A and B are shown apart, each in its own frame.
Chain A
Amino acid sequence: MQTTKYWAPSILALAIASPAMASDLNINGFLSVGASMLDDDKVEVAGADTQGGFKQNTILGLQVSKQVNDSTSVTGQLVSRGSDDYSTEAAWAFVTYAANDNLDLRMGRLRIPAFYYSDFLEVGYTYNSIRPAEEVYRLPFSSFDGVDFTQRFSSGNIDGSVQVYYGRYVGDFKAEGDDTIYAADFRNLTGVSVNTNFGNFGTRLSYNQGELNLAGGADPTSNLALAEAGAGAIAGLLGDASAAEDFNLTGQTSQFIAAALTYDDGTYNLLAEWTSFDHETSLLADDQAWMASAAMRMGEFTPHIRYSTRKEVADSGNEGKIQKQLGLEGEESSITLGLRYDYDSSTALKFEAQHHDEKTIGGVDGESAMLYSVSVDLVF
Chain B
Amino acid sequence: MKLFTSSCAALLISMASSIAFAEVSVIVSANNPNASIDKNTVSKIFLGKTKSFPDGTQAVPVDQNEGSATRATFNEQILNKSDSQLKSYWSRLIFTGKGTPPKESGTDAEVKALVANNPNIIGYIDSAAVDASVKVVHKF
Which residues in A have some Cβ–Cβ distance to B below 8 Å?
A: 8, 11-12, 15-16, 19-21, 26, 28, 30, 61, 63, 65, 73, 75, 77, 92, 94, 96, 101, 104, 106, 111, 119-120, 123, 125-127, 150, 152, 154, 157, 159, 266, 297, 300, 342, 345-346, 348, 379
Contact = CB atoms under 8 A, between A and B. Distances in A.
Interface of B is mostly: mixed
B117 A12 contact: yes
Given A126-B92, A266-B85, A342-B84, A101 B51 contact: yes
Of B81, B87, B94, B105, chain A has the most CB atoms within 10 Å of the CB of B94
Contact of B110 (A8, A300, A348): A8
A146 to B, nearest CB: 15
A77 B98 CA distance: 13
A66 to B, nearest CB: 11
Nearest to A100: B51
B6 interface: no
A12 B113 contact: yes
Given A12-B113, A16-B118, A73-B97, A345 B92 contact: no
B121 A19 contact: yes
Contacts of B86: 345
B92 A120 contact: yes
B84 A126 contact: no
B27 interface: no
Contact of B91 (A8, A92, A125, A154): A125
B68 interface: no
Nearest to A9: B113
Given A19-B121, A101-B52, A379 B97 contact: no
Interface string B99-140: 010010110001001100110110000000000000000000
Contact of A16 (B40, B66, B117): B117
A346 to B, nearest CB: 6
A63 B96 CA distance: 10
A61 B95 contact: yes
Contacts of A92: 96-97
